[in-house]
Chains A and B, each alone.
Chain A
Amino acid sequence: MTRTTYRWAALFLVLPLAVYIAIVVFPLLSSFYYSLTDWNGFAIDYNFVGLENFEKMFSDRLFSNAIGNTLIWTVAAIIVPTGGGLALALVLHERGVFANLYKSLFYLPISLALAVIGQIWLWIYQPDWGLINASLRTIGLGDLTQAWLAKPQFALLAVILAWSWQQTALSMVIFLAGLTAIPQELIEAAHIDGANYFQRVRRVIVPLLAPASVVVIALAVINSLKSFDVLYVMTRGGPFHSSDNLAMFMYNESFQKYNMGYGSAIAVVLFLITLAVIIVYFRQSAQVERLYD
């Protein structure tokens, strides 16, 4: 590598590096600093309060509520999009009559914004004429109709379902790509050995999809941790904070109540949780790669 090449490398890197550090890395680190202050978002002065914001979390029931809901969302993110996406991919991979048409249909939610999806699902849950209640009445189960988003016991699950609608489609795309990469000879061999369809799926296809599954689950979990748009549009964390997740709680504390110090501390917790997930993800994918190489 010559001196001029070094110069070119430096020249090419200076702009991307400067923008990335100034707008992504430095702010990320500053959040740790703000989490140790009582800044209110506007005042020039603020105090250094040490770990007070983090201590406050332990006694803040809204915080533990948000953590609990985030956990529920994460568990749902592991189960629903993974199971649903796998099922969809398996069905669509069999070259049925309308497979291509169906595929496009399932791709659609991926290009829709979560804000739009939230809006659409608001009407699905709408109490008077929403799709769910209207369907329940049609099949004679009118007693089960609910104001879904206004009930604390349903609101969070309703939002998670709307979110899963998109995430499942995304998982399906990744599983489909994984299925295409499986050598058909292996499946055929199992078939000849007398394995029925479900045995082939369980014993051959699913194990071979392990690399794709790791990606699907990691993506769903990371997306679930930062999910905000769909929640903001549908419930804003309500009713009575019943659907607050960490991202929503952080937004409310920081940009509604202007407790930016506390908000930063919540963001730091969210960051650390994500970091833990990412470490697990890289360990898993390294393990899977060793197994499959």
Chain B
Amino acid sequence: MTNTIVHDDRRAAASLASDRAQPSRAPMIIFYALLTIIVVMYSAPSIGVLLASLKSTAEIAEVGVWAMPRSFALTNYAEAWSGGNAGIYIRNSFFVTVPATVISISLGVLAGYTLSKLKFRGSNALFIFFVAGLFFPPQIALIPLFRLFNDLGLYDTLWSLIIIHVAFGIPICTLILKNFFAAVPTAIREAAIIDGANEWQILTKLMLPLSLPALAVLTTLQFTWIWNDFLWPVILIRSDEMRTVMVGLASLKGQYSVAYGVQSAMAVYASIPTLLVFVFFQRYFIRGLTFGSVKG
């Protein structure tokens, strides 16, 4: 209770202070000039793609990508969907992303809970072992995994991608969930044990409902990273009908090599799912990105 009051006081003081601590007029003008330039730099590329996706190849050749389209025809989108296989690529991306997101988080829940609430000798070392995987370039495992999936007969299947994203997601999921569970009062667990619950029941009935915010953070992060991944499908997928949408976009060839409108439409398709996740879960996404960078 006292805590809240102090907090509110601080906030009030802070907002008062920042009202007065505005920069003076001259820097403000420089600020806004700079801001405008940067805003243009940040919006132009995306706007360009949208404009291009609404124009025919002939129109782009004539007036370029950046002019307003004459008609807002969706022919490029139809073409990318049917001729460019966008439908198949997107389906493949979902087949990889959804299970890999769910399973990697589930494994992270198991590891994170155990390493925070069922501590044993060496559990901290084990935690560091898990988290270390977060830092290394995937290139170091590329060739051995290429060989492994060849030997297992999983080369050129979506299974290889699912398995890889599950495994490479374990470090971040364990890190975030361990820290989350560590903040849950141990008394809750002890009370449940006295009531006769076993660890599995504690985890699924007690801890999981409590950890929804952490799960939301991880779902947005994992979904975005796995959906956007490019390296692994380049290495492990050969045939066109197994491509994920990112590789499909990069390998639009033949009749579409100069069909910038169709390529733009494909880029838009490829970005819609992560943009939707971002729009609806921005809070969690940002929290995940800034996790650990700020104390407190």
Contacts and interface: CB of A to CB of B under 8 A. Distances in A.
Nearest to A23: B167
Contacts of A255: 146, 235
Contact of B293 (A94, A108, A212): A212
B118 A8 contact: yes
Contact of B31 (A13, A91, A188, A232): A91
B120 A1 contact: yes
Q: How large is the interface on A (under 10, 10 to 19, 20 to 34, 35 or more residues)?
A: 35 or more
B290 A173 contact: yes
A113 B246 contact: yes
A16 B46 contact: no
Given A31-B141, A187-B21, A212-B293, A24 B168 contact: yes
Among B20, B143, B200: residue with most chain A CB under 10 A: B143
A15 B289 contact: no
B146 A41 contact: yes
Nearest to B260: A123
Interface in A92-136: 94-96, 102, 104-121, 123-124, 126, 128-131, 134
Contacts, number: 294
B219 to A, nearest CB: 14
Among A20, A116, A191, A226: residue with most chain B CB under 10 A: A116
Given A110-B289, A197-B27, A232-B230, A31 B143 contact: yes
Interface in A225-282: 225-226, 228-229, 232-233, 246-247, 250-251, 254-255, 260, 263-264, 267-268, 270-271, 274-275, 278
A187 B17 contact: yes
A9 interface: yes
A206 interface: no
Contacts of A188: 17-18, 20-21
B42 interface: yes
Given A1-B120, A264-B143, A271 B249 contact: no
A3 B13 CA distance: 53
A144 interface: no
A270 B140 contact: yes
A13 B170 CA distance: 12
B108 interface: yes
A59 interface: no
B153 interface: no
Contact of B114 (A9, A88, A185): A9
Interface stretch (A50-58, A71-79, A149-157, A175-183): A175-183
A271 B143 contact: no
Interface string B12-54: 0111011011111001000110110011011111101100100
A19 B46 contact: no
Nearest to A273: B137
A4 B201 CA distance: 14
A270 B41 CA distance: 32
Contacts of A31: 140-144
Contacts of A113: 227-228, 230, 246, 270-271, 274
A17 interface: yes
Closest 7 CB pairs of A and B: A23-B167, A113-B228, A129-B64, A27-B144, A226-B137, A197-B23, A188-B17
13 contacts: A4-B198, A13-B110, A15-B110, A20-B167, A107-B282, A111-B285, A112-B46, A112-B274, A120-B45, A184-B15, A188-B18, A212-B293, A246-B139
